Amino acid sequence: MTLITWPDIDYNEWKDTLSTLQLWVQVVGKIRLKSMPWLNHSWHVTLYVTPQGLSTGSMQYAEGIFEIEFNFHQHILTISTSIGNREEIKLYSRTVADFYNELFTKLKKTGIEVDIYPVPNEIEPAIPFEIDETHKTYNEEQVQNYWQALVHIHNVFTRFRAGFRGKSSPVHFFWGGFDLAVTRFSGRPAPLHPGGAPNIPLNVMQEAYSHEVSSCGFWPGNDTFPQAVFYSYCYPTPAAFAEQPVEPKETFYNKEMGEFFLLYDVVKNAANPHDTLLRFLNSTYAAAANTGNWNRTELECDLSSFEQ
């Protein structure tokens, strides 16, 4: 595999752009939420990493299907439909309210009628989109660096996902927490989840964690933890999970979050970032599967012999 330099992501440098971008992406994510039938574990709401940026994929509307995509090459948002309509919105330093209003004007112009709950999820304070004049920063280079990191991480997560024959999520982007994630399932029901995420209904959390999981992801950080980080957790969490041997040696367990963490910079600066991240994913999954008594023989697979 050709080794390509992973970009720098400095939370303190790009946090204003991150805050604005996350809110724009939430607006688009909520359109997907309202346009799609409910899919287990809220998989119907997620976005996907593409060669252009982040996309909703195909969504239903009265005339067929439509797609909304953030294009981080050209810094535009595109709306395209199956009957040939297309609209663009420029991405630049503009308020969330301005972005929100133009997006819904363009949706109506293409014949798409959709109503969303116009308040952010998993964010405090939750300023309604249509009156948010606070968040208005967009730095093209910072956004491209973040997206290029997502591209690299997407490829590693995809490789990791291929080693599991049991139920597994796609590699997908959750706009609430703003994290790229992939989740494996043991196949067994889990205890009822207690909830606790800001602005997320309890029944949604309980459906999302209705079955035992081992989940990993990438998160860009916040003011409380101002570093981009990879995480890995399981639900339910066995008492011995935190004590399991994991790799690489820089991995640590965050007791408050109940998750293993590995800083993005450790992976970025490694001689082989791909392999370093894959070691983290495999070893933390093993920690969950071993302490949770998963049937690893039945659930895991090696399909490398099928590859050309």
Global pTM? 0.95
pLDDT at position 174 is 97
Q: Which of 91-95, 150-154, 197-201, 257-261 has the lowest mean pLDDT?
A: 197-201
Q: Please say if the pLDDT value at position 155 is more than 50.
A: yes
* Buried-state track 72-108, b at ≥16 Cβ within 10 A, e below 16: beeebbbbbbeeeeebebebeebbbbebbeebbebbe
Pair (165, 260) in one structural domain: yes
Domain end: 131, 160, 189, which one? 131
pLDDT at position 308 is 62
Which pLDDT band, with edges at 50, 70 and 90, does 197 fall under?
confident
Q: Which of 88-92, 123-127, 194-198 has the lowest mean pLDDT?
A: 194-198
Pair 17, 9: CB distance under 8 Å = no
Per the prediction, the chain carries an average pLDDT of 95
Domain end: 131, 155, 172, which one? 131
Q: Please say if the pLDDT value at position 228 is more than 70.
A: yes
Pair (268, 148) in one structural domain: yes
Pair (156, 42) in one structural domain: no
Q: Please say if the pLDDT value at position 1 is more than 70.
A: no
Which pLDDT band, with edges at 50, 70 and 90, does 116 fall under?
very high
Q: Please say if the pLDDT value at position 301 is more than 90.
A: yes
Pair (173, 274) in one structural domain: yes
Condensed to tens digits (0 to 9), the pLDDT of residues 174-192 reads: 999 999 999 999 999 999 9
Q: Please say if the pLDDT value at position 78 is more than 60.
A: yes
Q: Is residue 7 part of a domain?
A: no
Burial of 113 (0-12, 13-18, 19+ CB in 10 A): exposed
Q: Please say if the pLDDT value at position 196 is more than 60.
A: yes
Contacts of 302 (CB under 8 A, 6+ apart): 163
pLDDT at position 305 is 73
Which pLDDT band, with edges at 50, 70 and 90, does 2 fall under?
very low
Q: How far apart are CA 308 and CA 302, in angstroms?
A: 14
What average pLDDT score do residues 161-181 get?
A: 97
Q: Is residue 201 part of a domain?
A: yes
Pair (149, 231) in one structural domain: yes
Pair (281, 170) in one structural domain: yes
Pair (124, 144) in one structural domain: no
- At 153, the amino acid letter reads I
Residue of higher predicted confidence among 3 and 142: 142
Q: Is residue 124 part of a domain?
A: yes
Pair (175, 272) in one structural domain: yes
* Domain extent for 77: 13-131
Which pLDDT band, with edges at 50, 70 and 90, does 9 fall under?
very high
What average pLDDT score do residues 82-100 get?
A: 98
**Percent of the chain scored above 90 by pLDDT?**
93
Query: What crossing angle do the helices spanning 140-161 and 11-35 adopt, rounded to 10°?
Result: 60
What average pLDDT score do residues 91-95 get?
A: 98
Q: Please say if the pLDDT value at position 137 is more than 60.
A: yes
Which pLDDT band, with edges at 50, 70 and 90, does 124 fall under?
confident
Pair (26, 111) in one structural domain: yes
Pair (146, 125) in one structural domain: no
Q: How far apart are CA 70 and CA 54, in angstroms?
A: 5
Q: How many domains does the chain have?
A: 2
Calculate the alpha carbon distances from 252 to 82, 85, 187, 233, 243 in Å. 47, 49, 28, 12, 10
Q: Is residue 154 part of a domain?
A: yes
pLDDT at position 306 is 80
Q: Is residue 284 part of a domain?
A: yes
In the block, residue with structure tokens 């239903």: 60
